[in-house]
Every structure is written in structure tokens, then in C-alpha cells.
A and B are shown apart, each in its own frame.
Chain A
Amino acid sequence: MADLRELRRVAIVPAYNEEECIAGVVDELRAFDDGLAIVVVDDGSSDRTADVARARGAVVLRLPYNLGIGGCVQTGFRYADERGYDVAVRVDGDGQHDASQLGAVLAPVLAGEADICVGSRYHERSGYQSSVTRRLGIRILAATVSALTRQRLTDPTSGFQALNGKAIRLFAADYPHDYPEVEALVLLIRHKLRVQEVSVEMRPRAGGRSSIRNFGSVYYMVKVLLALFVGSFRRDIVPLEDR
């Protein structure tokens, strides 16, 4: 079991107009592990998210315009890959992810049992469960992804993740922009990376507007399922630069 303290580790924090929450998120991460490099990726916020994060001592990557969560998080992965980090965690800038639970999410990765570990709200039922339509949408997605990957995955939309170097390198080169977390799972397994889920509790948003993706919307579901369907036919990754 690798010792976290001996590894170069980074937290990727995507944030879009989270000036109210971001300071808290950064502080929680530092409280969890003071050796953790904290990288806030500002997805073209129009508020002071970047300033607040910088003032809190985080490295800030400021995207010139909004790329969406996929592009935003991939920026963080590129940073992590360029600087050779061994382990990365992703904690969303809206405060839904509780940094104190990172230990559980990191454990399988540090033990070498998984290349990526996802904190799932539905592994066991507890804590914030989100609205009924969202849950139904997530259940449908979970069933689809589980079928495609032949593995029991309960929360395919969760961004609360820990990754090792192999996963970082894959995502730095190729990360879905449209339905990131869901498509990424299929991508990972295509590339023979090992995924595990652990149980976590998430909080409702601490402040600000909710992110746009509406898992209860039929339109969204059609688009994701289409993306998953087509994605299941892909073989190799095609890095953004080579398309």
C-alpha cells in the first residue's frame, strides 16, 4: 500500500462562478492533507472565483472561456500529467464533495487495486440523494454503464474521484467533453483500467446556481445514451490534438 505522504499528489477543483464556495473547498482540502497541491480550474467564471482561490493559496488555471465541466477537468488532468503527479483527486468547486472523505476514495488507488476510484452516493444509501427525477436518470445511466462495462457501477455521474498516474495520462490525452463522467467510465474500461466505487456522502450545493446538466431531462438522457452507444464501438483514444 503506497503511502500518500510519499507521493506527489494534486487536487483538481473545477469551478464555475463559485466565489462563495471555493474558499471553503480549498480550506477543506488543505485540512485533509497539507501536502496536497490544490489546482482550481476556473471555467471562465464571470465572478471572483479565481481571485478568491488564488488568495487562498491555490494554483489557479483560468480558462479564457467556458469549456464545460469536461474541458475544465481535462485542463486539470493536463496540468497533473505535465507535472508528473502520481495521484490526483477531483473535488468539485461547488462544495458538494466532502474532502474529509477523500481517504476512502483514495484507498483502493493507493493499494494498487484500482486505477480510478469513484465516490458513489448510491453504493449504500445515505446522505444527500438528490431529487427523484435526477435519481431516476442516474439509475438509467448506471444500468446502461454497468451493462456496457460489465461491472456494477452505481453513480456514473460522480466527479468525486481519485486517480493514479495511468488514469491521469489517459484523461489528459482524451477526456469526453459532453458527458464527461459517464463516458469516461466506458473509456477507462475500454483501455483496461480498473475502476472501483466506494460509498461516500455528498452535500447539497453550498451556494450559487446548480450546474447545468439535468439528469432528469429526457433530452439529456437521449444524448448521453447515444454517446454511450456510439462510444462503445470505439477502440483507441484519439487525442484532441490529433483529430
Chain B
Amino acid sequence: MTPWTISIAAAIASLILLLVVFELIRSRRLRERYALLWLLTGLVLLVLSLWRGGLNTMADWAGVETYPPAVLFAVGTLFILAVLLHYSTVISKLSDQNSILAQRLALLEQQLEEGAPSRPAGTSRRRGEV
């Protein structure tokens, strides 16, 4: 059975995580859409640390016999992986957007120096049109 000390420590750590994330959202330094996975992580870990019976059951399923808290670490690690992967996609999108901005900026500066082209920047074309 999981030692009480671990349950309490894990619960406190999860609570601190949830509070920190909440405050980051509140102060606008973290957007809700990127915080959701963190909140889910914090919640799941909190539940697992307090619900000792559940943690034990999961340990049995996973074939972990001697040390149920290993499940806590495993779950925590999996969630962190998911968060990292999610953030990688976010960074990819930001990079793409960054490139677009850089390109438009270069074109704009040239326009400012030499005057506007006959076709305004960013004007769309139908696919296939030249």
C-alpha cells in the first residue's frame, strides 16, 4: 500500500501545480487553450494521490506489485509527454506564422521605399491563376 507521506506529498504538489496554473491564466501569462492539458494533469495526479484505493488498483493492472507510487510517476510522465508534444505543435504553428510575418514585413518595407505594386500585398488569387 502507498505510504501516507507519499499520498500527501503528491497531493500537495498537484495542488500547487493547479494553483500556479490558475494564477498564470488569471494574470494572462498563460492562455486557457494551452493550460487545459496542465490542468488535466494536475487534476488526475491530485485524484490519484488522494484516492489510494484507486492507485492500488491501477498498480495491480499495471503489474506493479511492490511500489504503487510508481504508477503516479508513470502517469505524471505520460501527461508531461503529452503536454510537450502539444507544445511542439504550438511552436510549429508559431514558427509558420512568424515566417509569414517576416515575409510580409520585407515586402511592406520595400513597398514603402519604392511605392506600391500594381497588385496590393496579400491579394488573393484563385488556385491556378497566375
Contact = CB atoms under 8 A, between A and B. Distances in A.
Interface in A100-145: none
B123 A50 contact: yes
Contacts of A49: 124
B32 A234 contact: no
Interface of A: 45-51, 54, 62, 64-65, 177-178, 223, 226-227, 230-231, 233-234, 238, 243
Contacts of A238: 27-28
Contact of B33 (A48, A50, A178): A178
A230 B100 contact: no
A49 B124 CA distance: 8
Contacts of A45: 124
A48 B32 contact: no
Contacts of A178: 31-33
A50 B124 CA distance: 8
A9 B22 CA distance: 39
A186 to B, nearest CB: 13
B122 A62 contact: yes
Given A64-B100, A64-B101, A230-B22, A51 B123 contact: yes
Given A64-B104, A230-B26, A233-B26, A51 B124 contact: yes
Contacts of A65: 96-97, 100
Enumerate the 8 nearest inter-chain pairs by beta-carbon distance, A residue then B residue, closest first.
A238-B28, A62-B122, A230-B25, A227-B32, A64-B100, A64-B104, A233-B26, A65-B97
A46 B29 contact: no
Interface string B7-31: 0000000000000001001111101
A233 B22 CA distance: 10
A178 B126 CA distance: 30
A54 B122 CA distance: 13
Interface of B: 22, 25-29, 31-33, 36, 39, 96-97, 100-101, 104, 120-124, 126
Contact of B29 (A47, A51, A243): A243
B100 A46 contact: no
B36 to A, nearest CB: 7
Contacts of B28: 234, 238, 243
Nearest to A48: B124
A191 to B, nearest CB: 15
Residue from the set B39, B123, B124 with the largest chain A CB neighbour count within 10 Å? B124
A48 B126 contact: yes
A243 to B, nearest CB: 5
Contacts of A62: 121-122
A53 to B, nearest CB: 11
9 contacts: A47-B124, A62-B121, A64-B100, A64-B101, A64-B104, A178-B32, A223-B33, A234-B27, A243-B28
Nearest to A17: B124
A223 B32 contact: yes
B33 A234 contact: no
Contacts of B26: 230-231, 233-234
A238 B122 CA distance: 31
Nearest to A240: B28
Nearest to B21: A230
Nearest to A177: B31
